[in-house]
Structure 1
Amino acid sequence: MDARVLRIARRVALSALTVLGAITAAFFALRLVPIDPAFVIAGAGSDAVAITPEVLQAIRTEYHLDQPLPLQYLLYLSRLVQGDLGMSYIQEQPVLQLIAEQARPTLALAALASTLAVLLSLAAGLLTAGRRRAGALAGMVELVLASTPVFWIGFLLMLLFSVWWQVFPLLDKGDLRSLILPALTLALPMAAPLAQVLRRSLEDVLEQPFIMTARARGLSVLAVKLRHALRHALVPYLTMLGFSFGALLGGAAITETLFGRPGLGRLLVNAVTRQDMPLVLGLVTVSTLAFVIVNLLIDFAYLLVDHRLKSVLPPA
């Protein structure tokens, strides 16, 4: 078998193990929480006195909660491979259906935030690479953005653009204008490390001999960066982009709650608050799968941006 195919198969297998590891850790962590799922299912939070031991035992039997924990885990995996994420304890609906209903707002938010982050980081990296003062100033701004919690950035954007200047709505109204501030809230801290990585990578490439040749042809500094240096500097940038996607998923929960938006992040917050374990586990599974798929696509993109790579995937 071709070495390239073997490396691809290895990378896919490692990704599958990553998803399995995340599911396993989340499953046992949720089961170790000192909360009886039977009480949650029966609505014990509102009327615990009316719940009898017989009712609790019937619920445990129905949901296999009376089985040993390893067996519960295997039962969950067997349903998972069939596309069944279980039933929500609180909403009594299939978890997959609940996730599908809330996926569209989160996908729209993630897509716009990622686009803004890429555009901002590319602009910052290209304009400041090789310029000492501009690079130092940009680095300070990026350090502040990368170190500031997402909710603080969102709060400041709301204060400036919604309360003081009244450019964008304060809370979600279901239109594009309502999406701008949440997307910026996620994009700014995501763009900061991307710009730092791109700037450093560009500065390394700009010292290479072939750049001197390009400059000798009379090309402008920006043209040299765009036509010759950027392609070679994108590999570490893409790697950081894959890592940043995990932070984007985590920040979505805070951002959607802060701006009153529907979506998977807000669904996760509500599920944790209401102790809806199947929904929490389903959201962890879907989020991990999305993270792994994005990083796989980025791995495959390495060859497109740098023809010097001898295989589709970098060494694992």
Structure 2
Amino acid sequence: MLRHLLQRGLDLVIVLFGISAIVFLMIRLIPGDAVAIMLGANTEVTPERIAAMRAELGLDKPLLEQYLSWVARALHGDFGTSIWTGRPVIQEIAAQIWPTLELTFLALLFGAVLALPLGCLMAQWRGGRADLVLRVGAIAGLTIPSFWLGIVMLIAAATFLPSFASLGYVPFSEDPLGNLQRMLLPAIALALPILANLSRLVRSAMLDALGQDYVRTARAKGLAENAVLYRHALRNALIPFVTSVGIMAGYLLGGAIVVEQVFSIPGLGRLILGAIAERNYPLVQATILVVTVGFVAVNALVDLAYALIDPRLRTAA
């Protein structure tokens, strides 16, 4: 097991360095002169000021030198200073990351918790009308964009529940009820595609598990159908389920950015879009890196969780 952990840790380090290089280069490939855009609103822009700003940001150095310098400072927790506010980038991210994390967590919780019983029911009722209805609903859930669903939910709430607070954000520590009320609709809008995808996955995995020899043996011993379904088949169906949950947790971080704009939530979405529009290099690099590192870290944790679900993987590790 220790060797497995060390190997996964080494893989994670390599992936993170690759991600940092891709993020760094992609920011540099954005069309337009970043310094000219940053100083464009100022009527006193001169070549001397542009050169001074380039030197201040380190943009006058070769790309490799810029990258190595950025990585060296990032390893010490220094992601630079926001060009517009003058505050450390890490403080800017810390101030707006919690709404995004909360929205992602609630959406993942709704989707994962509801997908398990729905998927099991679809497998138990396979071939029936209820299974057909649930599968059609799952396909519909996959095709509806989260931002469109969010807009429809906002219109419906404003029409039928005008007193329902559905826009903005209130920290949970200040007003728990107000926080959950404002996060309910965006979490549902973000969770629907996850619920649809995971429920179909659980159904497929359960049907595959129900056809295995150990399930037939359990039935031959006279075990109740619910015991066979939930004690034996579900345990093996959890492996692909957990894999997908880990992958979707990373994608939810990206989807939350769009949903935040619909519901006026001051999270990483607003921060990233504003930083891109302003060509705020330090803030864009650090924010995108945080999101991608979160994606990679979640999937690494999911990989390690396999051993807790399947003893065969624990023995192999």
**TM superposition score normalised by structure 1:** 0.90
Give the corresponding residue for 1:45.
Answer: 40
Matched, 1:98 2:92: yes
Paired with 1:23 and 1:164, the residues of 2 have a C-alpha distance of: 47
Residue 125 of structure 1: which of 114, 119, 123 is its match? 119
CA contact (8 A) 1:202 1:233 kept: yes
Paired with 1:72 and 1:215, the residues of 2 have a C-alpha distance of: 65
Amino acid paired to 1:97: Q
Gaps of 5+ in 1: none
Give the corresponding residue for 2:142.
Answer: 146
Paired with 1:262 and 1:15, the residues of 2 have a C-alpha distance of: 30
Residue 262 of structure 1: which of 259, 266, 269 is its match? 266
Show CA shifts across 1:94-121 (max 9, x none): 1111111112111211111111111121
Residue 4 of structure 2: which of 7, 10, 29 is its match? 7
Show CA shifts across 1:120-159 (max 9, x none): 2112111111422333332222222122222112122223
| 1:105-254 equivalences in 2 (<5 Å) | 105-130=99-124, 131-133=126-128, 134-166=130-162, 168-174=164-170, 175-216=179-220, 218-254=222-258
Could you list the runs of 4 or more consecutive aligned residues of structure 1 that deviate by over 6 angstroms after TM superposition?
A: none
Paired with 1:135 and 1:247, the residues of 2 have a C-alpha distance of: 28
Matched, 1:59 2:53: yes
Paired with 1:109 and 1:307, the residues of 2 have a C-alpha distance of: 33
Deviation at 1:311, TM superposition (A): 4.8
- Structure 2 SS opposite 1:65: coil
Paired with 2:40 and 2:279, the residues of 1 have a C-alpha distance of: 10
Give the corresponding residue for 1:17.
Answer: 14
- Structure 2 SS opposite 1:35: coil
Query: Which stretch of the first structure deviates more once superposed, 95-104 or 172-181?
Result: 172-181
Show CA shifts across 1:25-47 (max 9, x none): 1211111223323234xx42322
CA contact (8 A) 2:97 2:268 kept: yes
Residue 32 of structure 2: which of 17, 35, 39 is its match? 35
Amino acid paired to 1:246: G
Amino acid paired to 2:268: L
The percentage of counterpart residues that share the same residue type is: 37
The 1:201/1:104 distance shift into structure 2, 3 A limit, reads same
- Structure 2 SS opposite 1:308: helix
Paired with 2:29 and 2:39, the residues of 1 have a C-alpha distance of: 19
